[in-house]
C-alpha cells in the first residue's frame, strides 16, 4: 500500500498540533501557590515552608513556592498586584492596607485583599544587651535601636510602642532599619544596643542572641499598651522563653492573619484553608507559634472581607 507524501505530511501536522495543545494545557492545569512570608530568621518563613509542603502533598496539581520578603507591608502590596496567592501579615498592617494609610506604606486602599484566617498572636519583643543598661522603655533614649525593615509590620509596631511611651525615633541615639538576623548580628558585635522584633514566641533570632550574649527582655507595661488600643492587646512573655529570662515579662501582641486576593479561585482558597487546618501538626513542627492556630478562632477580629473559598470551609465546619 502506497502512502502519499501529502498524507504523511497531514498526519505529522495533526500530531504536531496535538502535541502543542497538550503542552499548552499542562501548565494551565498546574495551580501555582506563591506563599509570601518574611525574613528567613523570623516565624513567617518556617511556617510558610510548612504550608508549601502541605499544599504540595495535599492539593492536586499544586505547585507551591515560598518567597522571603520584608513581611507584612510588602506581602500585602504584592498580593494586591497578584504576585502571590497567600500571605502572612500583622493585623494592624492589614487594617492600614484596607484603609490606604500612606504613612504605613499604602498609597491607596488595597481592596482586592481577602481574608483566610486569623492565626497566632505576634508578641512584640524588645530585647537589649545587658551591657547597654537598657532595662525599661525610657532607657532607650540615646541608645541604638533596630526597628525592623523599613515600613515592615515590625516597624509599624515600633512606632506605635514608642509613641505610647511618649517617645519617637528622634529620641534614639542610633536607628537601624534591619531584619531580625541582621539586627542580632550588630548586637553580637556590640554595634547596637537593642532590637524590637514582632514575631511568635521563641523567634530564632532572639534565641540565637540569648545563647551568646546576656540580654534583657524589656517590659512593655499594660498601661502603655492600653494607650494604643486595638488591635494591640496586653500579654506576657512567659519566663524562660529565652536564656536568662527568669521571670514573666509583660508586653503587647497583635494577631497575625493569612490573606489572599479576590483573583484566586474559590476552590484553591478552599483547599488552602482546609489542608492547613487538617495538618496543623506539620505547622507546629515547623515552629511552636503555630500551637496558637485554632479553627475556632479563625474568624476572630478579621478586618477585611472573607474570601468565599475560606467561607465555604468554615460553613462546613460550623464556624461563623
Whether 17 shows a pLDDT value over 60: the answer reads no
Q: Is residue 288 part of a domain?
A: yes
Whether 20 shows a pLDDT value over 60: the answer reads no
- Residues of the chain with pLDDT > 70, as a percent, come to 91
One domain for residues 127 and 115: no
What residue ranges in 112-269 does DSSP mark as E strands? 113-129, 144-146, 174-176, 194-199, 215-218, 233-237, 249-261
Q: How many CB atoms lie within 10 A of CB 283?
A: 22
**How many structural domains comprise the chain?**
2
Q: Is residue 70 part of a domain?
A: yes
Q: What is the pLDDT of residues 122-168, one digit of tens each?
A: 899 999 999 999 999 999 999 999 999 887 889 999 999 999 999 99
Q: How many CB atoms lie within 10 A of CB 23?
A: 9
The predicted pLDDT at position 28 comes to 54
Q: Is residue 18 part of a domain?
A: no
Q: What is the pLDDT of residues 48-91, one digit of tens each?
A: 999 999 999 999 999 999 999 999 999 999 999 999 999 999 99
Q: Is residue 6 part of a domain?
A: no
- Cβ neighbours of residue 288 closer than 8 Å, sequence gap 6 or more: 200, 201, 202
174-176 vs 194-199, strand pairing mode:
unpaired
Average pLDDT over residues 38-56: 95
Residues 100, 102, 105, 107, Cα dihedral to 10°: 60
What is the Cα–Cα distance from 305 to 111, expressed in whole angstroms? 9
Q: In angstroms, how far is CA 110 from the centroid of its own chain?
A: 17
- Cβ neighbours of residue 107 closer than 8 Å, sequence gap 6 or more: 100
What is the Cα–Cα distance from 9 to 263, expressed in whole angstroms? 43
What is the Cα–Cα distance from 261 to 225, expressed in whole angstroms? 31
Q: How confident is the model at residue 6 (pLDDT cuts 50, 70, 90)?
A: very low
Identify the bridge partners of residue 87 per DSSP, sorted by sequence position: 36, 259
User: CA–CA distance from 230 to each of 143, 211, 227, 280, 309 (Å)?
Assistant: 29, 34, 9, 27, 28
Q: Which of 3-17, 236-250, 306-320 has the lowest mean pLDDT?
A: 3-17
Alpha helices in 145-253, H assignment, sequence order: 153-164, 180-188, 204-212, 222-228
The predicted pLDDT at position 320 comes to 86
Q: Is residue 210 part of a domain?
A: yes
Q: Identify whether the C-beta of residue 217 lies closer than 8 Å to the C-beta of residue 207.
A: no
Whether 292 shows a pLDDT value over 70: the answer reads yes
One domain for residues 116 and 140: no
One domain for residues 261 and 114: yes
One domain for residues 250 and 264: no
Q: How confident is the model at residue 304 (pLDDT cuts 50, 70, 90)?
A: very high
Q: Identify whether the C-beta of residue 286 lies closer than 8 Å to the C-beta of residue 216.
A: no
One domain for residues 226 and 157: yes
What is the Cα–Cα distance from 81 to 85, expressed in whole angstroms? 10
Cα angle 95, 234, 94 (rounded to 5 degrees) comes to: 10
Q: How many CB atoms lie within 10 A of CB 125?
A: 28
One domain for residues 39 and 62: yes
One domain for residues 186 and 271: no
Domain boundary among 216, 234, 254: 254
The predicted pLDDT at position 233 comes to 87
Whether 13 shows a pLDDT value over 90: the answer reads no
One domain for residues 242 and 261: no
Q: Is residue 231 part of a domain?
A: yes
Q: What is the pLDDT of residues 191-239, one digit of tens each?
A: 999 999 998 888 999 999 999 999 999 999 999 999 998 888 899 999 9
Identify the CA nearest to 94 among candidates 263, 303, 293, 273: 303
- Residues of the chain with pLDDT > 90, as a percent, come to 80
CATH number at residue 79: 3.40.190.10
Q: Which has more pLDDT, 21 or 164?
A: 164
Work out the mean pLDDT of the chain and round it to a whole number: 91
User: CA–CA distance from 160 to each of 42, 77, 183, 310 (Å)?
Assistant: 20, 21, 20, 31
What is the Cα–Cα distance from 11 to 123, expressed in whole angstroms? 66
One domain for residues 179 and 226: yes
- Give residue 204's domain range: 122-254
Amino acid at each position: 500500500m502506497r502512502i502519499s507524501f501529502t498524507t504523511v505530511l497531514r498526519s505529522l501536522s495533526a500530531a504536531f498540533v496535538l502535541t502543542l495543545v497538550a503542552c499548552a494545557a499542562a501548565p494551565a492545569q498546574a495551580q501555582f501557590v506563591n506563599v509570601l512570608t518574611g525574613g528567613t530568621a523570623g516565624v513567617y518563613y518556617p511556617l510558610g515552608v510548612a504550608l508549601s509542603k502541605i499544599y504540595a502533598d495535599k492539593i492536586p496539581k499544586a505547585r507551591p513556592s515560598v518567597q522571603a520578603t520584608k513581611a507584612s507591608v510588602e506581602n500585602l502590596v504584592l498580593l494586591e498586584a497578584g504576585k502571590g496567592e497567600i500571605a502572612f501579615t500583622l493585623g494592624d498592617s492589614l487594617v492600614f492596607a484596607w484603609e490606604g494609610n500612606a504613612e504605613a506604606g499604602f498609597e491607596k486602599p488595597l481592596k482586592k485583599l481577602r481574608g483566610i484566617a486569623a492565626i497566632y498572636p505576634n508578641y512584640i519583643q524588645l530585647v537589649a544587651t545587658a551591657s547597654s543598661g537598657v532595662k525599661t522603655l525610657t532607657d532607650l533614649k540615646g541608645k541604638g535601636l533596630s526597628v525592623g525593615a523599613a515600613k515592615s509590620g515590625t516597624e509599624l509596631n515600633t512606632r506605635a510602642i514608642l509613641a505610647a511611651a511618649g517617645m519617637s525615633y528622634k529620641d534614639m541615639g542610633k536607628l537601624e532599619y534591619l531584619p531580625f538576623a541582621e539586627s542580632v548580628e550588630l548586637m553580637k558585635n556590640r554595634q547596637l544596643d537593642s532590637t524590637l522584633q514582632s514575631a511568635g514566641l521563641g523567634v530564632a533570632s532572639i534565641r540565637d542572641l540569648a545563647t551568646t550574649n546576656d540580654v534583657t527582655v524589656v517590659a512593655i507595661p499594660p498601661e502603655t499598651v492600653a494607650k494604643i488600643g486595638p488591635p494591640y492587646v496586653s500579654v506576657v512573655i512567659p519566663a524562660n522563653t529565652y536564656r536568662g529570662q527568669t521571670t514573666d515579662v509583660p508586653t503587647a501582641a497583635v494577631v497575625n492573619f493569612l490573606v489572599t486576593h479576590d483573583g484566586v479561585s474559590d476552590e484553591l482558597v478552599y483547599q488552602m484553608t482546609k489542608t492547613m487546618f487538617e495538618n496543623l501538626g506539620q505547622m507546629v513542627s515547623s515552629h511552636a507559634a503555630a500551637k496558637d492556630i485554632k479553627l475556632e478562632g479563625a474568624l476572630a477580629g478579621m478586618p477585611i472581607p472573607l474570601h468565599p473559598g475560606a467561607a465555604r470551609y468554615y460553613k462546613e465546619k460550623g464556624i461563623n
